[in-house]
Amino acid sequence: MDTNEQNDKKTPKQQMTSFGVLIVVVCFFLSLFAGAGGAFAVINIYPAITGTPKNEAEEFTEGEMHEIPLTEPKGETPNSPSETEKVNTSADPSKDISSENASLPAASEKTKGEVYADAVDSIVGIKAAYERNIPTFFGRYTTQSVTSTGSGFFVTDSGYIVTNYHVIKNATDITVSTFDGSTYKASVRGYEEANDIAVIKIDGSFKSAVTGSSSLLSVGDDILVIGNPLGNLSYTFTDGVVSYLNRLITGDTGTTINMFQTNAAINEGNSGGPVYNMNGEVVGIASAKYASSNIEGLGFFIPIDDVLKMINDIISTGYVTGKPVLGVSLQTISASDAARYGISAGCYVVAVGENTAAFNAGILPADVITAIDGEAVYSVSDMSFILTKRSAGDTVNVRVSRDGTDMIFSITLGEYFPGEARTSYSNVYDF
């Protein structure tokens, strides 16, 4: 029997099986050709969508940036530049740099690596040397040389740097290092101790950071920190999220500072360094001073919106303008101490400055301030918080206890000017 006869005699079931196998084979080859054609089509239409070959890096377009001019005081002053200073900011130039929500719509977000690469040239490491007295025997002291380390960032192209006040406090020699390895001697332009910020100056031309708006932050937002942890791990990059907003933190000066909380790693040496949002804008200033070696995943940043005006003032005049001052040196009298000594709880007046608002109103040493405008004052922290809501020129009603008698004084607050502390006592603070 020949082959044709054998095929003709196949059963219908056998013929259907052969036909099914044939269909599967044909479909397999068709899918291969279709896949190849599809891949070919994707490769060829990519340039039409992106404008660049797929194997080239995609170009990032940064959002619009504006510069706000700062006017220097006329005449020659220490560290006074010869031309108008400019602080890089994303704020609307028609508004004051410190105005609330004074930011343009957010620019496109960057990758973390892009933020680091763009920012690192505007960040510095700081070493501040000072002398401190160490007690020895029989009430004597010996002098010890100490170096404080921290971070900072350029806010103008001409070399003005923002950092924490506690980094450069009492410094007699300040050295600044930049990312390219260069070192410079810096001078102090001014500071605001109550808010733990300072501005120092080096000579040269540098890349300034771009400031954003901390008022636009929300809990859960990504933030990036670049600094100098432990004083020798230069330009270390850490990240985290905003854990909480508007924490009131009391420092060792007895003053209360508004901060936002983070889980990003903050260590000694990070103090004064910038905190970035994902647009590469500075939204805060790190302060390791308020961290603890016994606590992990907890750090605090000074919101940039709270201190931009102060930074501008310090650059322009050397101090913060419009800051209110009573003209007194105060010490907290706790409830237990008040009961022990038979006086009122509140703020004990240790000293009164001559020709100050308090002096002219009739406040005396040994008075105890118990309230301002009806708001109770139990500590120097309370006093600090109350005064942050006032300005120079405001009139307040100050209630004091004098020899057991309550008295009310109407006082027009003066304007703060830098000067020597009124006393050298510990736990006494000037207001």
Which residue has 């102060």 as its token pair?
Answer: 310
> Which candidate in 151, 271, 316, 379 is catalytic?
271
Query: Could you confirm whether 166 is annotated as catalytic?
Result: yes
C-alpha span between 93 and 71 (Å, rounded): 14
Give the CA distances from residue 337 to residues 251, 253, 331, 401, 426, in Å, rounded to whole numbers and listed in that order: 22, 20, 12, 15, 17
**Could you give the angle at the alpha carbon of 429 between the alpha carbons of 428 and 430, nearest 5°?**
135
> Which candidate in 98, 196, 208, 313 is catalytic?
196
In the DSSP assignment, the letter for residue 188 is: E
Report which secondary-structure segment, H or E, holds 58: none
> Which candidate in 122, 148, 151, 166 is catalytic?
166
Residues whose CB is less than 8 angstroms from the CB of residue 47 and which lie 6 or more positions away in sequence, other chains included: 53, 54
Query: Could you confirm whether 252 is annotated as catalytic?
Result: no
C-alpha span between 227 and 214 (Å, rounded): 19
C-alpha span between 365 and 344 (Å, rounded): 14
Separate counts of helices (H) and strands (E) for the chain: 8, 23
User: Maximum distance among all alpha carbons in the chain?
Assistant: 135
DSSP structure string for 189-227: EEEEGGGTEEEEE-SS--PPPPB--GGG--TT-EEEEEE
Exposure string over 77-107, b if 16+ CB within 10 A, otherwise e: eebbbeeebbbbbbbeeeeebbbeebbbeeb
- 279 closest CA partner among 63, 13, 96: 63
First to last CA, the chain: 120
Which residue has 């992990």 as its token pair?
Answer: 296
- 287 closest CA partner among 254, 258, 330: 258
Question: Around Cβ 192, how many Cβ atoms within 10 Å?
Answer: 20
Q: Is the distance from CB of 329 to CB of 426 less than 8 angstroms?
A: no
Q: Which residues are catalytic?
A: 166, 196, 271
